[in-house]
């Protein structure tokens, strides 16, 4: 019986390329594809795949939140994180959410095939590029750091940061919070200035580390 795989990544060309690679394997079948985290959760519920491959930085709901929701509904599903980031925080949080595998995108071909087969057998898999990260103990959090700058953010800034980390765009955040899109942009600039961060990737890392993204 083939391993039934659901792919979730917000880049359709990359996702289709992965699907093409997987479908050429005699023991793997791609049963569905999703372009955002919430769609992945819904498809996992409807299709009940054996393995779900989740990008971390997806719109609407990131891979960490999606993994937790998928596994809450069906603990038998095996989740693999597929990410451009080899950052300790991402690896730790994905394993905390219940993932059994972690593969970086620049090694997605052969390593993803190995990961799918390993997790389907109940084995944990971390690609060699991040094997030194403490993924072996999912309960072990990141190393302690100095005082968190989170207290410097106001309530609305924390809300905006959480939604940015979940992959929402400015217009979507504005609708969700019932504020102007220009106000969202002001909050985003203020957050980056206060925290000394630059870009969505750094904001997402910070939000995960500080527990601002819902699991």
Is this prediction's pTM over 0.75?
A: no
Both tokens of 10, joined, read: 């917000």
Catalogue all structural domains in the chain, each as residue range(s) with its CATH number: 3-130 (3.40.50.2300), 149-209 (1.10.10.10)
**What average pLDDT does range 41-47 have in this prediction?**
96
181-195 vs 155-165: helix crossing angle, rounded to 10? 90
In degrees, rounded to 5, the angle at the alpha carbon of residue 142 between the alpha carbons of residues 140 and 143 is 105
Q: Which of 43-47, 92-96, 164-168 has the highest mean pLDDT?
A: 43-47
Q: How far is CA 109 from the centre of its chain?
A: 19
The answer to whether the beta carbons of residues 66 and 40 sit under 8 Å apart is: yes
**Residue 212: which pLDDT band, with cuts at 50, 70 and 90?**
low
155-165 vs 199-209: helix crossing angle, rounded to 10? 110
Residue 200 in this model has a pLDDT that exceeds 80:
no
Position 78 scores a pLDDT of 97
pLDDT in tens, 86-144: 777 788 888 888 999 999 988 778 899 999 999 999 999 998 867 555 444 444 443 33
């Amino acid at each position: 019986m083939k391993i039934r795989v659901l792919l979730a990544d917000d880049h359709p060309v990359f996702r289709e390329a992965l699907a093409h690679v997987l479908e050429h394997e005699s023991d793997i079948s791609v049963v569905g594809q999703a372009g955002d985290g919430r769609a992945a959760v819904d498809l996992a519920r409807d299709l009940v795949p054996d393995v779900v491959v989740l990008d971390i930085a997806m719109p609407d709901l990131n891979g960490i939140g999606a993994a937790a929701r998928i596994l809450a509904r069906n603990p038998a599903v095996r989740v693999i994180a597929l990410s451009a980031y080899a950052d300790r925080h991402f690896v730790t949080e994905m394993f905390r959410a219940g993932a059994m595998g972690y593969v970086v995108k620049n090694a997605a071909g052969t390593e993803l095939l190995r990961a799918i087969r390993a997790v389907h057998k109940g084995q944990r898999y971390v690609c060699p590029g991040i094997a030194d990260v403490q993924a072996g103990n999912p309960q072990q959090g990141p190393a302690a750091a100095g005082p968190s700058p989170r207290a410097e953010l106001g309530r609305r800034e924390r809300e905006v940061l959480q939604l940015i980390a979940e992959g929402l765009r400015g217009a979507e955040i504005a609708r969700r919070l019932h504020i102007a899109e220009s106000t969202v942009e002001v909050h985003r600039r203020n957050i980056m200035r206060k925290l000394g961060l630059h870009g969505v990737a750094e904001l997402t890392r910070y939000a995960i580390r500080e527990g601002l993204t819902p699991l």
